[in-house]
Structure 1
Amino acid sequence: MPERVDRSAVARQRIETAAAELFLEHGVDRVGVADIAARAGCSRATLYRHAGGKSELVHRVLTRAAATVAERVAAAVEPYRGARRAVEAILASVAAIRADPALAQWLGRTRTGDTGEILTTAPELRRIATTLTRIAPDDEAAQWIVRVVLSLLAWPAADAATERRLVERFVGPLFVKG
């Protein structure tokens, strides 16, 4: 008996792949639903039915990419605790994203429009920030960590040593229990 293909899952995957490609090529702000539908070879109605709108696609693409980075960072920061863990998690996240050409291109851009808000408020990224740094669940602190990582990507310091000093000096002390 032939294996049954989940056509909805296939369509969703094709749409998500098209969205990821376009986001990387043109930036999230410059890609519309019509562009994604055209690249995926479907109608806008099909895109909305199987994948939601642009915001949902940004979240899905981001979640998939973030999970890969989070696995690498989790292994790198495992031996650390407290403020040192937060500092190392931020620096390891920046390094892991920079090591991935696609993510570096996408997340290293200065953002306009809604993309910056989507990235900095994404619950997936806040959960990852909370898990990697092991801070107590605090949405604002997690959002701030995401903003620090995105800032270092968009506006890197002269070198890694300078970035480390900045994060150790201005981020690390915030995670020391007093």
Structure 2
Amino acid sequence: MNNELTDEHVDEIIPSGKLTRLRARLKESEEKIRELEAELNEVRKLRDDSHAKSLNLLAEAEADYVALLDALRWCSGSPDFNEGGQAREGWIKLCNPLLSQPHPGADILAENKRMREALEWYANEENWNHGEEYNIGSETFKTKPNISMDRGAIARAAMAGREG
């Protein structure tokens, strides 16, 4: 006797409408699994790439550190670290690539400068003397509009405290 299950046997056990729906759901599930596996492979590749990049950066940083230590050892023992001396030239050669890179705090300094300029504009009383037709009463807003109501008084006090 043959124990294999054929489509005819399945049709006898499960009605054909349900079987069609089950097969469609199975196919959808298989497609979803393939999509998830593809996404997982992409994530693994990104993880591996970022790990390799971090290892490369670490190796570069260690090499720079060793080079600087060697330069310091060389310069500290060298008698000719004067202008135009061999030790000085070696030090400049090693440090120039590091000095040419932007300072990590440069963005913060630029942001502080922009904030300072905004504070100075806000504190300037002339920027608030624009005539009565532009004044908006606080009843227009649901809350008190601090910026238009204090007319730079807080900024002037902050600048006086900072500079004084």
Rg bigger for which structure? 2
Higher relative contact order (CA 8 A, sep 6+): 1
TM-score range normalised by the length of the shorter chain: under 0.3
Give the structure-1-normalised TM-score. Answer: 0.22
Give the structure-2-normalised TM-score. Answer: 0.23
